[in-house]
Every structure is written in structure tokens, then in C-alpha cells.
Amino acid sequence: MTIVVNPHNPQEEQALLTFLDTMKYDYSREDETFVLSEARQKDILERDREYEAGETETYSIDEIIPQLTSKKNNVPIAGSSQSEL
């Protein structure tokens, strides 16, 4: 199983690592040479804020699977433009 976690600051990262160590979980860390641009970081944090504020639409897995199937068949997903695919 793979889980990707993106802590927002060094304190959150340390808390997560301490938890994993305390629970004796085996884990690995990726090389930290991959860095998001400041603009991309702001975009992600803004999406997090919108989600937490209830300002975004959510979908059930039953709604997502047909859209993914449609995408595989090169059919635009509802609410997206062809350039986004």
C-alpha cells in the first residue's frame, strides 16, 4: 500500500514521523529534491481551504468510476473542457 502525505510545515512532518516510529510502522521517505513551485503550493492550499469551507463539489465513488471510464474512451468528463483531459 502507498500513502502520500504532504505536511504543511516541518512540525507536522516531525509529528507524523514520531507517530510512525512510535507505532513501529515500516516506512520510507522519498528524496526531497522534488519541490512544488510556490504557485502550485498556494493552489493546493487554496483547494484545501475551499474543501474545508464546503465551497467545492464532492462526488461519490459511484459517480467517479463512470467518469474515469468515459475518460479512457476519450469522452470529456462532466464539468471539464477537452483541454483539461
pLDDT in tens, 72-84: 666 555 555 544 4
Determine what percent of the chain is predicted with pLDDT higher than 90. 36
Determine what percent of the chain is predicted with pLDDT higher than 70. 78
Q: Please check whether residue 30 lies inside any domain of the structure.
A: no
pLDDT value of position 78: 57
Q: Please check whether residue 61 lies inside any domain of the structure.
A: yes
Q: Show the CA angle centred on residue 63, arms to residues 1 and 58, nearest 5°.
A: 80
Q: Give the cell for residue 83.
A: 483541454
pLDDT value of position 73: 65
Q: How many domains does the chain have?
A: 1
How confident is the model over 43-53, as pLDDT tens digits?
A: 999 999 998 99
Residue 49: which domain range?
A: 35-74
HSE, CB side, 13 Å, CA atoms: give it for residue 21: 7
